[in-house]
Structure 1
Amino acid sequence: METVQQLQPQKKTIYLPYFVIFVGYLVFGFSENIKGPAIPRIQADFAIDELQIGTLLAFNSLGFLLACSFTGVLTSKYGIKLASILAFGTMVLSGVLIYISNNYLFFSASYFLMYIGNGLLEIALAILAARVFTKNTGFMMNLSHFFYGLSSTAAPIMAAGLMGVNMFGNELGWRGMYFLMLALCIIPLIPAIYSKFPKDSAAVEEKIPLKVFLKDRAAWLITLILSLGVIAELSIAGWLVNFLEKSYHWSSTSSSVMLSVFFLCFMLGRLLLGFVTDKIGFMTSLIIFSAVAGVATIVATILGPAAIWLYAVAGFGIAPIYPTVMALLAKRYPNGIDAAISVTVTLMGIAVVIGNFLIGAIIDGSKDWFASIYGNEIGVVRGFQMGFIFIGVCALLCSIFSLYLHRYLSKRNEMM
């Protein structure tokens, strides 16, 4: 009898955190990737141009960055449970505020709050996964991010469909769509409240000091690799629908379906390539898959509508980058994983802010320059193409720096 009573809390401890991680990534994918079909409507409603969209995304990435900067400290001081509850709760609240936003300023503030929730969730889920997935880390990290890919695949089509739904005599629109999708965060919020999450097992004296982490050249290279990979991932997700609609005059539905195909390959990449990552090693995986993503993106952009399907191939290549880097961090810094993830993702957030702004500026500036020579229609096409070539270059640089890190670790006999 005593043995049975002891086993019951252990089951709760083991299985609820798994549910929170997997469903957490599921709703995270929805929250991040419904923006593709929504951005053209937001742009039309508030009469803003591409540079302003890029600035909006960059500014809101500051919310993500702000959350990343304090979530690690919050987790260390008050526990992963509180951080998880705050993350899901913030995202539900932001959905309500986006729904009632009636001007651009109020909407920007509400969107900023959603990004704070995203930042909280990014760090909280990564730390929780690093503590829970102690075996087959590469595969389990990719499996958990498979749920992100699953929801990301469905998100554009669901978003486009929901925006056209009539409720109570009115079209739901992008505001109602955001409200409903972010309300899904209630699902993992409830088990997060009742879960017993694993604590940091490293003693205080065993933890790697932050100074040591920041002096490690490998840590900076890992951060750079992650940043370039995430810029490529989020940029395709954020700009592809806009690109297809405005450059090639695709319908909203067709553009959203193409984005979903990208995320379908992205999802399959995370489901299938986790096995490959554990077989061939973290560094080799990063070198190969980021190169595939970069080449596919650039070729798809140069060849035009006939090669649009190559963006899906790029999704397959981009997919393993983030979870593989998280697995790499968990293996390299097991006694300082909270700080390692917080610092790495915070610095990544800075890079994403810069990347969002640069892509918006490149598209807008190139569009105006080409329009002055070849006319507005050609200008729009060339502007978006220049932005997507930049995205492809980011993925190629991810591969190049992964190769450099591979050589650096090999020379020091620190390969993982």
Structure 2
Amino acid sequence: MAVQPQINTKQKSKTAASRNYALQLATVFVGFLIFGFSENIKGPAIPRMQMDFGLSEMQIGTLLSLNSLGYLIACSFTTFLTRKIGAKAVTLLAFGSMAASGILMYFTHSYPALSGSYFIMYLGNGMLEIALAVLAARIFVGNTGTMMNLAHFFYGLSSTVAPIIASGLMTVSIGGYTLDWRGMYLIMLSLSIIPMIPAILCRFPGEEQHDAARIPLVKLVRDPGIWLIVLILSFGVIAEMAVGGWLVNFLEKAYHWETTSASGMLSAFFLCFTFARLFAGPLTDKIGFTLSLIIFAGFSGVCTLAAIFTGEPGAFLFAAAGIGIAPIYPTVMALIAKKYRSSSDAAIAFIVTMLGIGSVFGNYLIGAIIDWGKKLFADGSESELSLLRGLQAGYSFIGICALLCAVASFFLYGYLKKRNELL
């Protein structure tokens, strides 16, 4: 007679676990969806900010670098904060910071205030990056490559429509007031409140291993493999993120495209990016994470450089590059989850913090290379040709970063193969 209550208890426990897992998935998937919006609405907005405040390309590069610095700072303390107050509280704090930055940006009327608002937004993005990555690493224990790419598919999905939505919102008038980039940021970043709901309702998984089973940070730092992963992710993220900040600017100034057309090409890039993540996951699980990185990063680098060398007729290759660069980040996260299973949070925090440093210098270098190229080809005054050559030089750096990502992946492949740890 005591069997029935025991069965009911097990069923209730199973149902509760399934419901909690669904809420965890909602937090991860919707979180990445909002993350994609916050990162990629800046493409159409940056030329408008530049015009409003009279900023040079170097100042734009500096702005993006300061943002990356905020991201880096957030990554450096998020693991410590997670252990103190929990991943759930950190996730809610991240979403709240992003929403708050949208309010601050709405009231921005100077370059320093704009930089400060962006800095806060990237603090939130940095915390969210670590929190979502740690949560995903803990709950995706089977078909890791597929699930990681699926989670990041939602980032690509929102990134695809973000430039179009941003361009549309900036022209909307309410009561005779045009939203422009300030109102657009207010509306889009306020969406961060949505994923806070499943995050509040679910229980986040705790540590999978006892502290005694954790790999000490000192031992992690001495592992050559983790430094190769840092290089792969740094070059890959620079190549990925720089497109959102520079492609629209490049097409408008180099080829005189209208903002709508340039934003459409950015959306095409993210469309390729999105579907690559949707379909690449099973492939990475089948052929291996490291080999996948070599193939995809190499393809992206070749497409980007070919787009520049072939001129305006080859502009579609900018979009095609998204196919190669899309699987890099989730595949590396899957590799980390497998290789450093007992200490995934520490490994993720360390690697993401290191790549944050690369992102700071990456955006700054692109702006500096553009200015350098303009001066190099200037004939006493800034001509259209000098601007074109400067933009081509700066954007070529993005393609070179993708190729360097492939080279670093090749070295990681050899290192892991020698140790019989190939993933």
Map of 1:115 onto structure 2: 122
**Number of aligned positions between the proteins:** 416
Map of 1:398 onto structure 2: 405
Identity over aligned pairs, percent: 57
The SS at the match of 1:101 is coil
1:299-378 map, 5 Å: 299-372=306-379, 376-378=383-385
In 2: Cα distance, 1:186 partner to 1:179 partner: 12
In 2: Cα distance, 1:110 partner to 1:9 partner: 40
Q: CA deviation at 1:316?
A: 0.5
In 2: Cα distance, 1:118 partner to 1:372 partner: 42
Deviation readout 1:10-29 (Å, 9 max, x if unpaired): 13321101000000000000
Q: CA deviation at 1:6?
A: 2.6
In 2: Cα distance, 1:168 partner to 1:217 partner: 59
In 2: Cα distance, 1:63 partner to 1:136 partner: 33
Q: CA deviation at 1:113?
A: 0.2
In 2: Cα distance, 1:72 partner to 1:66 partner: 11
* Larger CA deviation: 49-58 vs 194-203: 194-203
In 1: Cα distance, 2:142 partner to 2:382 partner: 58
Q: CA deviation at 1:250?
A: 0.2
Structure 1 unaligned spans of 5+: none
Match for residue 232 of structure 2 among 214, 220, 225: 225
Map of 1:172 onto structure 2: 179
In 1: Cα distance, 2:379 partner to 2:418 partner: 52
1:187 aligns with 2:213: no
Determine if contact 1:371/1:377 at 8 Å carries over to the other structure: no
CA RMSD of aligned residues (A): 1.1
In 1: Cα distance, 2:316 partner to 2:237 partner: 20
1:75-90 map, 5 Å: 75-90=82-97
Map of 2:4 onto structure 1: none
1:252-291 map, 5 Å: 252-291=259-298
Determine if contact 1:13/1:198 at 8 Å carries over to the other structure: no
Determine if contact 1:138/1:277 at 8 Å carries over to the other structure: yes
In 2: Cα distance, 1:219 partner to 1:181 partner: 35
Map of 2:5 onto structure 1: none
Q: Which residue identity is paired with 2:292?
A: S
Deviation readout 1:301-354 (Å, 9 max, x if unpaired): 111100000111111000000000000000000011010000000000000001
Determine if contact 2:369/2:394 at 8 Å carries over to the other structure: yes
Map of 2:13 onto structure 1: 6
Deviation readout 1:155-197 (Å, 9 max, x if unpaired): 0000000000001211100000001100111110111112111
1:129 aligns with 2:120: no
* Larger CA deviation: 101-110 vs 344-353: 101-110
1:95 aligns with 2:102: yes
Q: Which residue identity is paired with 1:321?
A: I
* Larger CA deviation: 365-374 vs 145-154: 365-374
Structure 2 unaligned spans of 5+: 1-7
Determine if contact 2:374/2:382 at 8 Å carries over to the other structure: no
